[in-house]
Homo-oligomer: A and B are copies of this chain.
Amino acid sequence: MPEDIKSVSIQAIVLAAGASSRFKTDRTKMAEKICGREMILYPTSILASLDIPILMVVGYQKNLVEEIVAREFKENISFIHQVEQRGTGHAIQCTRSAWKADDILIMNGDMPLVTTDIIQKLYKKHSTSDAVISFVTAHHCDPNAMYGRVIQADDNIQIIEAKELDGNLEEHCCINAGIYLLKRSFLEQFIDTLKVNKEGKEWYITDLVKIASDNKLKVETLSAAYDRIRGVNDFKELWAVEQIKKSEIIQYWMAQGVRFTIAHNVHIDWDVQIGKGSTIESGVQLTEGAKIGFDVTVGANSSLKNCSIGDRTSLRSHTVIHDSIVKNDCKIGPFSFIHGHSILENESIVGSFVEINRSSMGERSKARHNSYIGDTEVGKGAYLGAGLVTCNYDGFTKHKTTIKNNAFIGGNNTIVPPVTIHEYAMTAAGSTITQDVPTNAFAIARQHQINKEGYAKTIRERNEQQAQKKNSTLSSIFMGATKIDQSHEQL
């Protein structure tokens, strides 16, 4: 027996054609993401890591499934179309012309927690025992679980589908995981002897176990932990599987020196990276390959998606960063929103209620409060006062604002681009800047203040008279109550 599964003649058939009806959505479950990765990619990547070529049986939404798989796997994979969904036995028959290896591995596409270890152990047991069919079992005592039950008596072994089992499901806790390794010669000899099921609609691959057993051919089983072979047939099972996957990811990062304050409360994708010494607070979302450096704090209830956060940067609570780069030693949040491929250089500061969109901030630049900064390039050491609005969109085109090194933008400014505020320039608070401001210049674009003595009193007295009658009619001007009708029954 070859030691290494990679050197042997083996090929895999992955079953991914089913209609996913128990999900109640209009999508194939193969496309549902678990920790940010489509379900079908989990078994596929396990097989690929073992260099096992894959035949994937597709049917329902086959284009979508093929597209997802092809995104990650360019070779060693081919697709076979099962036009009608007539059971696992029928699916295997569809692949017949492609059988080449000595051993054929068959597994369901909806088993995201299977490890290479299980496949390797199954192969070892199969090859050392000279079995014609070897399959994975698990112990699981749930009468509602629709796994096939493994029934063993004397020398005979068979798998009976849950819905066809006579008797009490509760008493049958040995379940069929849905991973089989068969000799090709056996498969070729017996595949045509499969009989249609009771309903006359489906052929079951599982019947091959009884066929082998009845023919006194060797059948082997490998027992695996139920948590590793869980199938996913509805959103509840998806949730359970995702929690296990997530728990593994988080424990991995904990072991790398990352602190999670409420680990069960964090959403994390499979392709996220976190440096040691970092803290991930409660309620954080880390998705789509978010990359976090060393000694970073990600404050509670923040969301990071497809972004890179530099070392020692501090993200306070309620920070949202998408598709952007924040470098080292920055201070962001709370309530910052950075997106649109923005870049924040080292030591920049972005504060509360500030949105940065398609913009860059130079080193040590600051935008602390209530601002919208879009399509803007900010140099080093610039200070953007509270309430800044860059009017990057004129209804037709996006225009660019440039704020050079060490410029100072006064509070509540409105900038109408295209415009450049040059180095060391300043703008007066409350200004609307429509033209370039030269280096060292001071721009002002606001009206002088006039105080009308006693006039507030006049207004107040007038308003007080008018207020009473007006208030009594105003409430009916606007939209009426929107209390929604509830035909929903008590659960």
Contacts and interface: CB of A to CB of B under 8 A. Distances in A.
A433 interface: yes
A245 to B, nearest CB: 8
A477 B400 contact: yes
B235 A486 contact: no
A1 interface: no
A290 B267 CA distance: 24
B447 A446 contact: yes
Contacts of A456: 408, 424-426, 440-442
A143 interface: no
Interface in A397-435: 397-398, 400, 408, 410-412, 414, 416, 424-426, 428-435
Given A341-B481, A369-B372, A239 B265 contact: no
A424 B460 contact: yes
Contacts of A248: 491
Given A335-B335, A451-B443, A416 B425 contact: no
A375 to B, nearest CB: 7
Interface string A468-491: 001100100111111110101011
Interface string A115-142: 0000000000000000000000000000
A308 B457 CA distance: 37
Interface string A322-342: 011100000000110100011
B252 A235 contact: no
A383 to B, nearest CB: 6
Given A300-B283, A416-B411, A477-B400, A394 B257 contact: no
A466 B393 CA distance: 13
Contact of A239 (B263, B383, B400): B263
A205 to B, nearest CB: 28
Interface residues of A, number: 152
Q: Which of A429, A471, A488 has the most CB of B within 10 A?
A: A429
A189 to B, nearest CB: 37
A76 interface: no
A92 interface: no
B267 A300 contact: yes
A354 to B, nearest CB: 8
B441 A455 contact: yes
A273 interface: yes
Given A260-B239, A285-B317, A491-B248, A355 B352 contact: yes
A121 to B, nearest CB: 19
A445 B453 contact: no
A236 B261 contact: no
Contact of A276 (B24, B454, B460): B24
A459 interface: yes
B482 A323 contact: yes
A161 interface: no
Interface in A258-316: 258-265, 267, 270-273, 276-277, 281-283, 285, 289-291, 299-301, 303, 306-308, 316
A371 interface: yes
Contact of A488 (B23, B273, B480): B273
A385 B374 CA distance: 12
Contacts of A252: 491
A181 interface: no
Given A341-B482, A353-B355, A442-B459, A23 B257 contact: yes
Given A300-B283, A387-B389, A411-B414, A445 B442 contact: no
22 contacts: A26-B277, A27-B277, A267-B282, A272-B488, A273-B488, A307-B484, A342-B479, A353-B372, A389-B429, A390-B411, A395-B460, A397-B466, A397-B467, A426-B460, A429-B434, A431-B449, A434-B449, A442-B452, A442-B456, A445-B446, A445-B447, A447-B447
